Amino acid sequence: MIKIHTLGEFDIKKNCESMLTKIGHQSTLILLFKYFLTYEGRRLLPDRIVEDLMEDKDFKEPDNVLRTQISRLRRLFGDDTFYTIDFFNGYYIFKLRDDTTVDYIELEKQIYQGNVIVDIRAEEALDILREALALYKGIYLPEVEYNEWIDPFRNRLDRIYLKGLANYLKLLKKKGLHYEIIEICERAIHVKPYEEFINKYFMEALMEVGQKRYALSHYEYYTSKLYNDLRIAPSQEIKELYKELQSREDTLKGPIDLAMLDKELVLNKYDNGALICELHHFKFLYNWEIRNKHRNPREDIFLGIITLDNIGYTTLTADEIKQSMDTLMDIVYRDLRKNDVLSKWNDSQLVVLLYNISEEDLHLINDRLQKDFEKEIENKNITLNIRFKHI
Please state the domain extents for the chain.
Answer: 2-101, 103-263, 275-390
Task: Provide DSSP, 88-151.
Answer: ETTEEEEEE-TTEEEHHHHHHHHHHHHHHTTTT-HHHHHHHHHHHHTT--SSBSTT--S-GGGH
Query: Span 2-101: which CATH code?
Result: 1.10.10.10
Residue 252: per-residue pLDDT: 41
pLDDT tens, 143-196? 887 788 999 999 999 999 999 999 999 999 999 999 999 999 999 998 899 999
Domain 103-263 class?
Answer: mainly alpha
- H or E element at residue 387: strand 382-390
Residue 23: per-residue pLDDT: 82
Q: How many CB atoms lie within 10 A of CB 190?
A: 11
pLDDT tens, 33-73? 999 999 999 999 999 999 888 876 666 777 888 999 999 99
What number of CA atoms fall less than 13 Å from residue 341's CA on the CB side? 19
Residue 253: pLDDT band (50, 70, 90) is very low
pLDDT tens, 111-128? 999 999 999 999 999 999
Q: How far is residue 112's CA from residue 104's CA, in Å, rounded to a whole number?
A: 12
What number of CA atoms fall less than 13 Å from residue 343's CA on the CB side? 15
Q: Which of 20-24, 202-206, 238-242 has the lowest mean pLDDT?
A: 20-24
- H or E element at residue 335: helix 318-335
In this structure, what is the dihedral angle of CA atoms 100, 106, 107, 109, given to the nearest 10 degrees? 150
Q: How far is residue 272's CA from residue 34's CA, in Å, rounded to a whole number?
A: 44
**Which residues, listed in sequence order, are joined to residue 389 by a DSSP beta bridge?**
303
Domain 275-390 class?
Answer: alpha beta
